Amino acid sequence: MSTLSTFECSNPLLNKLFHNAQWGIRSNYRSFPTDCPQRDERQGWLGDRATGCFGEGYAFDQTLLYEKWLDDIDDSQAQNGSVPDVAPTYWKVYSDNITWPATYLMVADMLYQLKGDTRGIIEHYASMKKWLYYMKDKYMKDYILTKDTYGDWCMPPEKMNLIHSEDPKRITDGSLMSTSFFYRLLNKMQKYAVIASHPEDVAAYKNLAANVKEAYNEKFFKKDNSCYDNNTVTANIISLAQGLVPDGYQKQVFDNITDRIEKDFDSHVSVGVIGIQFLMRTLCDYGRPDLAYTIATQKTYPSWGYMIENGATTIWELWNGNTADPSMNSGNHVMLLGDLMIWYHENLIGIKSASEGNPFKHFIINPYFAPQLTYLNGSYDSPYGKIVSNWKRTGSEISWNVVVPANTSANIHFPTKSYNDITINNKKVSSSQGLKESVDPKTEDVMLEIPSGNYHFEVTVKN
């Protein structure tokens, strides 16, 4: 299986973590993606891949593997519509969960978003619809999905000998997680219905989603504190990232997220398998890439760096895998990666598609120029060819080489608010022809839309 991306920077820990993640992913690919390669389990647990498959889609050319796995999941669906937590069903685990089988829809979305592959959506649309309505009819009460099996699995416990936290302040309500995921899946199905030539289904999904959102906020959102339920990082971040927060409250909810991470968890990982699917990207999306970077580079418990400091060459099953009860003892799992590999590609390297249905025909390059780094080299082999973003910093000057493949265009974000601070191929931007100038509405940094080609930028960053 060919590798699609490269990463190297001036921080050895980030380099090692990227390698460990790739090594763990690769060693868990067989005829389907497994949870671990080295003990009496080696099963196709769905929950491990709900978001992880997207990061893997950047790292490897795994289209055929995941197309085949969608077939496995479809084949494993029970006649009543129930989708198992494990597929193929060597272990027959039909717990009627939402957060684990949600991977069924998310893998199809990954293939569409990163590979331009609609097969998964078209061929499995009927099966996905059957599952969602089965869950709705059996477990929905007043628009709340009441069924959950695993909780925020492997949330870092407060004691080093524990597998699961016993602290109520760290435990997220299961129906909150189930309902929030169900809402996101309903929104996905609105798009899938059009792609699969069933536009007549869109209105039903849309109306149900609106009722679910209203009920969700009625039950879980505490306006006085701008938080969800007991204010866990997971409760807040999955609500924010999945579009459930009422208009006007997004900033306050996000502030609760960062306050808990920084004050209660000392800027370390603060979530389990559910929350980790949204952690790194949401911090970046709402203006705290610095906090995401800090979490990624921590070396003390709980963190990926803690694993590395204790000899890990892949990713552990537990954040405290060297001290917890050995009944969960895998040293090679991928479930705790969450959206880390997506963050590497979309936020740290900064490469992200911006063309629906035709991935990377038009894309964004918006790296986080972390002040702790003196250089970063990254690339991704897109469907149109290799995209490259290499930069190095000398004082306040950034020297940046970018490659935009043939027949594509890119929107480049610069860490400055003035075009006077930029040269492109040794010319001032104003003297370059055919470039569209604009401004990032979030940061007010300047942007350029550029056609295919090789570019060298010099940027003066002013504090």
Tens digits of residue pLDDT in 137-186: 999 999 999 999 999 999 999 999 999 999 999 999 999 999 999 999 99
The model's confidence at residue 369, banded by pLDDT at 50, 70 and 90, is: very high
259 vs 356: CA distance, rounded Å: 35
Give long-range contacts, CB 8 A cutoff, 24+ apart: 195-200. 195/112, 195/118, 195/121, 195/122, 195/125, 196/121, 196/122, 196/125, 197/122, 198/125
Residue-wise over 130-154: b if at least 16 C-beta within 10 A, else e?
bbbebbbeebbeebbbebbbbbbbb
Rounded to two decimals, what is the model's pTM? Answer: 0.97
268 vs 260: CA distance, rounded Å: 10
420 vs 417: CA distance, rounded Å: 9
The model's confidence at residue 428, banded by pLDDT at 50, 70 and 90, is: confident
Written as one string, the DSSP assignment of 413-432 is: E-SSS-GGGEEETTEEGGG-
Report the DSSP pairing between strands 5-9 and 140-141.
unpaired
Superfamily of domain 362-460: Maltose phosphorylase, domain 3 (2.60.420.10)
In the prediction, which pLDDT does 329 show?
85
Q: What is the DSSP-derived secondary structure letter of residue 337?
A: G
355 vs 5: CA distance, rounded Å: 20
Find the range with the poorest average confidence among 50-64, 267-281, 380-394, 415-429: 415-429
Report the DSSP pairing between strands 385-394 and 397-413.
antiparallel
The answer regarding whether domain 5-349 maps to CATH 1.50.10.10 reads yes
3-state secondary structure 28-45: CECCCECCCCCCCCCCCE
Average pLDDT of every residue of the chain: 96
135 vs 147: CA distance, rounded Å: 9
Residue pLDDT, tens place only, 401-417:
999 999 999 999 999 99
∠ at Cα 441 (439, 445), nearest 5°?
45
- Give bridge partners of residue 447 from the DSSP assignment: 413, 438
What residue segments make up the domains of the chain, in order of their start?
5-349, 362-460
337 vs 67: CA distance, rounded Å: 22
